[in-house]
Chain A
């Protein structure tokens, strides 16, 4: 079945460092891909999305490109801030046989940014 794999955390970076969180997926068809962010004690917020191959999603300085040839959707940011400390989830949409759909989430990657 469809699945999402993320790099294991926790990831600890100094402020202004470059961030990459790897995400690869297995899917039939052409799912949409997402990055969600969860701050401590809160629900998930959509960070960015891409709906087809070679699309680039971007928001708040974060970027990710939908790479069908490598089945990847890596999250990047050029200069992280302390306020970026959170858990990041890679996800894909999945159309079930019954035509109901759901989102499959990766396990999450915890990021801590230190001053």
Chain B
């Protein structure tokens, strides 16, 4: 089955530690995105990438880093510099060719900092 997978579903981290969230897609989509969702709020864009080895900062990139070494993978690292990392993180992808502008989302990872 084609889709977007995120792992793990729940993640716990001690303060001061870096942690990496996985996002993989087998849809052959070009663009990938990371969003953060806080309770009762909408989604805020962290980073996005349209091609391998290239990515751009979104609205709240401070304290986060990403890489795009393969088309199907876009891992997000939450560093110790992120002051309030507890949130629900969503990965999305999109096919650029064909004019479609629909993003498809993974199931999300809930990160809790202890």
Contact = CB atoms under 8 A, between A and B. Distances in A.
Judged by DSSP, the binding face of A is: strand
Judged by DSSP, the binding face of B is: strand
Interface residues of A, number: 22
A103 interface: yes
Interface of B: 4, 6, 33, 40-43, 45, 48, 50, 56, 58, 90, 92, 101-108
Contacts, number: 46
Given A43-B106, A93-B101, A107-B42, A102 B50 contact: no
24 contacts: A32-B101, A34-B102, A41-B108, A42-B107, A43-B90, A43-B107, A43-B108, A44-B90, A44-B105, A46-B103, A51-B101, A89-B43, A93-B101, A100-B48, A100-B50, A102-B48, A102-B58, A103-B101, A103-B103, A107-B40, A107-B41, A107-B42, A108-B40, A108-B41
